[in-house]
Amino acid sequence: MHGRVPYAAGTIGVATAALKLAIEYARDRETFGKKLAARQAIQWMIADSEIELRAARLLTYQAAWKADLGQDFKMDASIAKVVCD
């Protein structure tokens, strides 16, 4: 169980970097005379990714917090790992 929380945290780090790259790419890339970042569908995808990333981060924090308090965190760690995968 203790390995699931750091695993989830590691995937959050990778996801954060990937989202940052996606945002930079959308700002730089131009298609059909318009920046990708100006296209509503791209904005929705980036927003959805940010929402998923924040949820995963909070679930991981909750599991780590319960572990630090010495509480049963098995379910929280499992949920965080599944969401972060």
Q: Which sign does the torsion angle of CA 44, 36, 27, 19 carry?
A: positive
- What's the confidence (pLDDT) of residue 85? 85
List the alpha helices (DSSP H) in the chain.
4-28, 40-69, 74-84
Is pTM, for the whole model, over 0.75?
yes
List, for residues 36-84, the tens digit of each pLDDT value: 999 999 999 999 999 999 999 999 999 999 999 999 999 999 999 999 9
Rounded Cα distance between 3 and 58, Å, is: 17
User: Please, are residues 81 and 4 in contact by the beta-carbon 8 Å criterion?
Assistant: yes
CATH number of 4-84: 1.20.140.10
List, for residues 18-30, the tens digit of each pLDDT value: 999 999 999 999 9
Q: What tokens does 82 get? A: 């599944």
Please indicate whether residue 52 or residue 3 has the higher confidence score (pLDDT): 52
